[in-house]
Amino acid sequence: MPLDFPSNPTLNLPYTFNGTQWKWNGSAWLIVGDNFGTTGATGPAGNTGNTGNNGTTGNTGATGSGYTAAGLSGGFLWITPVLSSGILGASFSIGYVIGSTGATGRTGTTGSTGATGSGYTAIGISGGFLWISPVDNFGIRGASFSIGYVQGNTGNTGNTGNNGSTGNTGNTGNNGNTGNTGATGSGYTAIGLSGGFLWISPVDGFGIRGASFSIGYVQGNTGNTGNDGTPGTISGSYVQTINGFTGGVTLAQGTNVTINSVGNIITINSSGAGGGVDGVSTYDGRTGNIFTPPLILYALGII
């Protein structure tokens, strides 16, 4: 039978459990004297749960019955019985873990430390069991003992379930509003060329121009046109004039006259009896019919 303190105790109400007397001091149950009852036998270990079949998740093994530490409150260690079904029973205190601190001495000198209360202290968990040890008023621990399973062994982990289907894609959100146009940056703008110089003007962020200024020559001024050179001359023999004509002169064929040219040779042929051509009656000391044989004019120095 576990400890079962009265639910509404009165001050200094005694309570005896397993040969140990307790007394309610108004805030906690204190052990009276240092008589400890005989340690109870260790409860049987809970059965290990069956391993689940392969392929499907195995059933979780049954949790062994025993006790689990509930915590500390008012210097007492509280534990809770745990059934094999995992249902927790009502928590109860198994005694002081540490005694109350003695009253503070008078000012000037420190008062003596009060005696350490007797009770139990938790040692730890080993093999799934919670181990505790009795502690007397002098802080001397007794033999540790187990108060039962904290919890049963954990069953094997089941297989991971299949991934769920992918959800539908959400609707596309509306386009956000167009952001405001950024402010115009400041800089310079080209004004133009003047006197071979490039002129520019500063422009601020509001488009207002400052005073223009030159940043230097872009190119030099064009120089004056040079004088015409002296006409060149042609070396060797060539035709300079024909009957006083210079430049472009055309030889035209007259009646019964043909003009042929081969290279620099111009041949003038005439058909019919003597006579002159354009007032030519003599040539090279000859008179009369000077067209028999045909007159050959050499373009180079003959006329």
**Segment 60-89, tens digit of pLDDT:** 765 567 888 878 887 788 888 888 777 888
With a cut of 70, say whether residue 99 has pLDDT above it: no
Same-domain pairing of 43 and 111: yes
Query: Please, are residues 121 and 135 in contact by the beta-carbon 8 Å criterion?
Result: yes
- Give percent above pLDDT 90 in the chain: 3
Distance CA 214, CA 190 (A): 10
CA distances 60 to 42, 47, 64, 72, 172, Å, are: 25, 12, 12, 30, 46
Mean pLDDT of the chain: 75
Question: What per-residue confidence (pLDDT) applies to 290?
Answer: 43
pLDDT the model gives residue 252: 82
CA atoms within 13 A on the CB side of 205: 5
Q: Given this model, what pLDDT does residue 303 score?
A: 43
Average pLDDT of span 114-142: 79
Of 224, 215, 155, 156, nearest to 189 by C-alpha is 215
Mean pLDDT of 116-120: 74
- The range of the structural domain enclosing residue 209 comes to 187-217
Are residues 142 and 257 located together in one domain of the fold? Answer: no
Mind listing the pLDDT tens digit for each residue in 161-187?
Answer: 888 888 889 899 899 899 888 777 788
**Residue 198 β-bridge partners:** 193
Answer yes or no: is 22 within a domain. Answer: yes
Alpha-carbon gap, residue 47 to 66, rounded angstroms: 12
Whether 141 and 22 map to the same domain: the answer is yes
- If one compares 279 and 239, the residue with the highest pLDDT of the two is 239
Whole-angstrom distance, CA of residue 295 vs CA of residue 252: 15
Residue 139 and residue 57 share a domain: yes
pLDDT average, residue stretch 237-264: 77
pLDDT at 157 over 70: yes
Q: Which of 129-133, 242-246, 298-302 is predicted least confidently?
A: 298-302
pLDDT exceeds 70 at position 285? no
Q: Are residues 19 and 144 in the same domain?
A: yes
Residue 134 buriedness (CB in 10 A; 0-12 / 13-18 / 19+): buried
In a domain? residue 74: yes
Residue 234's pLDDT band (cuts 50, 70, 90): low
Residues 194 and 242 in one domain: no
In terms of domains, do 45 and 127 share one?
yes
Q: Is residue 170 part of a domain?
A: no
**Of 10-24, 61-75, 198-212, minimum mean pLDDT range:** 61-75
| CB-based burial label for 132 (10 Å; 0-12, 13-18, 19+) | buried
Looking at residue 23, its pLDDT comes to 92
pLDDT score at 232: 66
Number of domains, the chain? 3
Confirm whether pTM is higher than 0.75.
no
Average pLDDT over residues 100-122: 74
Residues 115 and 210 grouped into a single domain: no
Residue 153 in tokens:
């062994």
Q: Which residues contact 141 (CB under 8 A, 6 or more apart)?
A: 121, 133, 134, 135
